[in-house]
Amino acid sequence: MHRLSDLGAVVTHVVCATSREGLEAEWREISVLAFDGDRISRCEVFAETDLDEALVRFDDPQPYDELTARHCQSGPDTA
């Protein structure tokens, strides 16, 4: 946990997995979370090396860009 408030948090998330072929992998990402009551209302993901950028985003939140949100939900190949 890098930062926490009543409105959200900045956390490092670690994912570990093993493929069917036995390849073990681990990756880390930083998530900026916004809370709405007891639910997460928004999550922005940053590379592990971008902690400073994530903290700036947490400290100075901008309005959520709906176009970006739709792009993220649809995936990059959806027109």
Question: Could you read off the pLDDT tens digit of each residue along the chain, which spans 79 residues?
Answer: 999 999 999 999 999 999 999 999 999 999 999 999 999 998 999 999 999 999 999 998 776 555 455 555 555 554 4
Q: Which tokens is 32 given? A: 């900026």
Task: Kindly report the pTM of this predicted structure.
Answer: 0.70
- SS3 string, 36-64, reads ECCEEEEEEEEEHHHHHHHHHHHHCCCCC
| Cα separation, 32 vs 23, whole angstroms | 29
| pLDDT at residue number 65 | 58
pLDDT of residue 60: 84
How far is Cα 34 from Cα 5, in angstroms, rounded to an integer? 9
